[in-house]
Amino acid sequence: GNSVTQMEGPVTLSEEAFLTINCTYTATGYPSLFWYVQYPGEGLQLLLKATKADDKGSNKGFEATYRKETTSFHLEKGSVQVSDSAVYFCALVKGGTYKYIFGTGTRLKVLA
Amino acid sequence: SQTIHQWPATLVQPVGSPLSLECTVEGTSNPNLYWYRQAAGRGLQLLFYSVGIGQISSEVPQNLSASRPQDRQFILSSKKLLLSDSGFYLCAWSLGREQYFGPGTRLTVT
């Protein structure tokens, strides 16, 4: 079946450090891929998306590239800020279905 | 623009009491609607989804139920709460490929 695997957290970085959060997926065909962010006590917010191979989603300095050959969608940011501290979820949905598959989430803590 | 509301924001209920959580979406028609539960420090568990009025699919057999009495209204219910029902309940909607989440309801069963 379809699945999403994220790196275990928490990830602790100093401000202005480079961020990578790994995400790999298992799915047949060409799913759409997403990153969501959840701040404490809030719902999930869509951060970025990619709908086909080699697409790069980007938003607020975050980027992720849809890699079909490695079935990956790693999240990166060149310089993190304290305000980026949150839980990040990788997710996929297959075309023609209604069920989204989420990873378990990765907690990021950025220290000043 | 589209907006999704959930209420109440927080709820403390005793074991065995009933539950009703409401979710409404504004600014769109015939959305797909979803209920998720998030246990403390954990990922998302899909509970129910609906692709139209009266059409509910259950993902996890449990003492919860869902209803969709109107196109943009989704209700999560229970007749008797269990301690294990505590968690953060999230409603979401989608039309295309993106899914959008509400602010959540934190439920504590005591």
Q: How many helices (H) and strands (E) does chain A have?
A: 0, 12
Distance CA(A6)–CA(B25), nearest Å, equals 30
H or E stretch including B7? strand B3-7
Judge: B44–A43 Cβ closer than 8 Å, yes or no: no
Confidence at B97, pLDDT banded by 50, 70, 90 = confident
Q: Are B17 and B76 in contact (CB under 8 A)?
A: no
Q: Which residues of chain A lie closer than 8 angstroms to B105, CB-CB?
A: none
pLDDT above 70 (res B28): yes
Q: Which residues of chain B lie closer than 8 angstroms to A36, CB-CB?
A: 101
> pLDDT value at position B109?
96
As a whole number, mean pLDDT of residues B65-80 equals 96
Spatial neighbors of B60 by CB under 8 A, at least 6 apart, are B45, B46, B47
Which pLDDT tens digit goes with each residue over B35-72? 999 987 778 999 999 998 889 998 886 789 999 999 99
Q: Which residues are registered as beta bridge partners of B93?
A: B33, B100
Chain length of chain A = 112
> pLDDT value at position A69?
94
**Mean pLDDT of all residues in chain B?**
93
Interface test with B, best of A4, A36, A102, A104 (most B CBs within 10 A): A102
Instruction: Give the minimum alpha-carbon distance from B102 to chain A in angstroms, rounded to a whole number.
Output: 6
> pLDDT value at position B61?
64
Distance CA(B9)–CA(A32), nearest Å, equals 31
Q: Which residues of chain B lie closer than 8 angstroms to A3, CB-CB?
A: none
CA dihedral B97, B25, A105, A91 (to 10 degrees): -10
Give the Cβ contact number of residue A75 at 10 Å. Answer: 25
Query: Residue A5: closest CA among chain B residues belongs to which residue?
Result: B43
The segments of chain A whose pLDDT lies below 50 read none
Instruction: Give the minimum alpha-carbon distance from A59 to chain B in angstroms, rounded to a whole number.
Output: 15
Instruction: Give the minimum alpha-carbon distance from B51 to chain A in angstroms, rounded to a whole number.
Output: 8
Spatial neighbors of B82 by CB under 8 A, at least 6 apart, are B15, B63, B109
